[in-house]
Amino acid sequence: MEAGIIAGWWTRLGKLNKPLIMFPYTWDLIGQKSVEILLGKKSGRDSIIRKLREMGVNPSTVDPDKILEEVKEESIKRKAPISDEIFKEIVEKHKNKMDRIMK
C-alpha cells in the first residue's frame, strides 16, 4: 500500500491490534504475507515515519518532510515506488545534513 493516509490508518490499527477493522480477514488466512508499505509519489508523512522506525532511525533525528519530498521526486523520476535501498540512501544523506547543522 502506498497512499500515505491509508498507511497511517494501517499503522494506527496495528498499534490497537485491530487490523480486521480495515480488512475482512488476515493475510495468513489465505497464505499471503502481510501488508507492505511502499514508498512512492503517493506516500505521506506517516509512511516515512513508519519506514524510519522500521529501520531503527529516530524520526526526530532527521526531517521527515524533506525525506518525503525527495522520496516523491525519486519515485516520479523512476516511474515506480522506490526500494528500501534507495530509501536508506536518502535517509543517510539527510542524517548527514542534520549532523552538519547540529555541529
CA dihedral over 69, 74, 80, 84, signed as positive or negative: negative
Domain count for the chain, please give it: 1
Distance between CA atoms of residues 4 and 17, nearest Å: 20
Cell of 79: 516511474
Amino acid of residue 76:
I
> pLDDT for 68-90, tens place per residue?
999 999 999 999 999 999 999 99
What is the reported pLDDT for 69? 95
Share above pLDDT 90 across residues of the chain, in percent, rounded to a whole number: 36
Residue predicted with more confidence, 10 or 51 = 51
Share above pLDDT 70 across residues of the chain, in percent, rounded to a whole number: 75
Confidence of residue 31 (pLDDT cuts 50, 70, 90): confident
Q: Is the pLDDT of residue 6 over 60?
A: yes
For 35, the domain range is 4-102
